[in-house]
Amino acid sequence: MAEESGIDLQEVKDLAKACKKIYKNVRNLMVESKMSMVRQDAHNKSVEYNAAQSLYMTLFEALAFMGICAFNLYHIKGILENRRIIWGRLIIIYKN
């Protein structure tokens, strides 16, 4: 019956093999695409976590730096208000 319609059985088998290869390639591409999306999502979460941790550490360092600056200003203000310490040190420096 295949001979009557002009269709060669070997051609049909070749087309079936080609379709199977195409199907395998498409399936492999879909799997690769899905795995790439999973990796990208994991990477994005990691970047967001690192950015948040960096922000918190920067804020902590800024607060610590401002605290140290405030302490130094308070300490220097106390030294400047005590005239005996300033004049005593100036006299020691002048004698040397």
Q: Is 15 helix (H, G, I), strand (E, B) or coil?
A: helix
For residue 61, what are its two tokens?
């360092």
Residue 42 to residues 14, 45, 77, 84, Cα–Cα distance (Å): 42, 5, 53, 65
- The pTM score is 0.53
Question: Tens of pLDDT along 23-72?
Answer: 999 999 999 999 999 999 999 999 999 999 999 999 999 999 999 999 99
Q: How far apart are CA 23 and CA 27, in angstroms?
A: 6
* pLDDT attached to residue 1: 47
Cα 65 off chain centre by? 25
